[in-house]
């Protein structure tokens, strides 16, 4: 049973870079045919998809976040990561990583989520 | 972006009730729709995908229907564990979610 776990700082200063890692356990990140995604949830915007990566390194990002987001994968560590630069209070949210079957777009497996607060 | 609109925003119901939640898309998404259940402090859990396919392990009292722009999630007989917030999500294009429907105890 594949499990995902987010990790990273819970507090980020405004204008700095938010960095999170998702560790995949119970299976190889290269096994099967899946995209690996980041999603966030805030009181103001609800659930918001941020972007995804395939293990080949191919990425797709939400258009409105594209200029600030980088998603990368480290297959040797069975991890993928999110970097969001120039953060503001509007980026305060619970951040989730999730797995998506490559033939579809639904999120079949989710991490438990990690709360990130942007504040001075 | 495709906008997803759920109704109602809140639904009060009793154990044993039949419950229906509606999700409308701002343009046709064929059957590329999923439903999730979320409880406080937890990640969303996949219930249904491709509009009507029940995820493995999800009780059969949950069902989904619809295509194009209008979809429904039905709980045939509400159980105590079903009080939660439900979200629809389209994946015809880049994923977007509905704003959620909270099912609360009447």
User: pLDDT per residue over A69-83, tens digit each?
Assistant: 999 999 999 999 999
For B33-68, how does the pLDDT look when each residue is reduced to its tens digit (9 = 90+)? 999 999 999 999 999 999 999 999 999 999 999 999
SS (H, E, C) B34-57: EEEEECCCCCCEEEEECCCEECCC
Mean pLDDT of A14-31: 96
Query: What is the model's pLDDT at position A45?
Result: 83
Do B49 and A113 count as a contact with CB atoms less than 8 A apart? no
Residue with tokens 């980041």: A38
Model confidence pLDDT, tens digit, residues B69-94: 999 999 999 999 999 999 999 999 99
Give yes or no for a contact between B33 and B47, defined as CB atoms under 8 angstroms apart: no
CA distance B26 to chain A (A): 17
Cα torsion angle, A23, A101, B63, B8, sign = positive
Instruction: For residues A60 and A81, give the distance between their C-alpha atoms in angstroms, rounded to a whole number.
Output: 14
Confidence band for A43, pLDDT divided at 50, 70 and 90 = confident
Q: Is the pLDDT of residue A21 over 90?
A: yes
**Is some CB atom of chain A closer than 8 A to the CB atom of B97?**
yes
DSSP secondary-structure letter at B92?
A: S
pLDDT on residue A10: 96
CB of B8 closer than 8 Å to CB of B103: no
Beta strands in B1-106 (DSSP E): 4-7, 10-13, 19-25, 33-38, 45-49, 53-54, 62-67, 70-75, 85-90, 96-97, 101-105
With contact defined as beta carbons under 8 Å apart, do B76 and B18 qualify? yes
Q: Nearest by CB to B46, which of A49, A108, A112?
A: A108
Name every residue whose Cβ is closer than 8 Å to that of residue B56 and which is 6 or more positions away in sequence.
Answer: none
Give me the total of CB pairs closer than 8 Å, taking one residue from chain A and one from chain B.
51
Q: What is the torsion angle, in degrees rounded to the nearest 10, for the CA atoms of residue A116, residue A74, residue A67 and residue B3? A: -70
């Amino acid at each position: 049973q594949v499990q995902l776990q987010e990790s990273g700082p819970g507090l980020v200063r405004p204008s700095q870079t938010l960095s999170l890692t998702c560790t995949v356990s119970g299976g190889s990140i290269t096994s099967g045919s899946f995209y690996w995604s980041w999603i966030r949830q805030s009181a103001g915007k609800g659930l918001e998809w941020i972007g995804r990566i395939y293990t080949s390194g191919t990425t797709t990002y939400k258009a409105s976040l594209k200029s600030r987001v980088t998603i990368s994968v480290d297959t040797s560590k069975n991890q993928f990561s999110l970097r969001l630069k120039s953060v503001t209070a509007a980026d305060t949210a619970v951040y989730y990583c999730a797995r998506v079957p490559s033939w579809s777009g639904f999120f079949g497996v989710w991490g438990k989520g990690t709360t990130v607060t942007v504040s001075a | 972006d495709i906008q997803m609109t759920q109704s109602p925003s809140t639904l009060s119901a009793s154990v044993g009730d039949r419950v229906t939640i509606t999700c409308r898309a701002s343009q046709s998404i064929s059957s590329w729709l999923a439903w999730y259940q979320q409880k406080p402090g937890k990640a969303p859990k996949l219930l249904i995908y491709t509009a009507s396919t029940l995820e493995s392990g999800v009780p059969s009292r949950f069902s989904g229907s619809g295509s194009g722009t209008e979809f429904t999630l039905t709980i045939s007989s509400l159980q105590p564990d079903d009080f939660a917030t439900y979200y629809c999500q389209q994946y015809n294009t880049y994923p977007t979610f509905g704003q959620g429907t909270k099912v609360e105890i009447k």
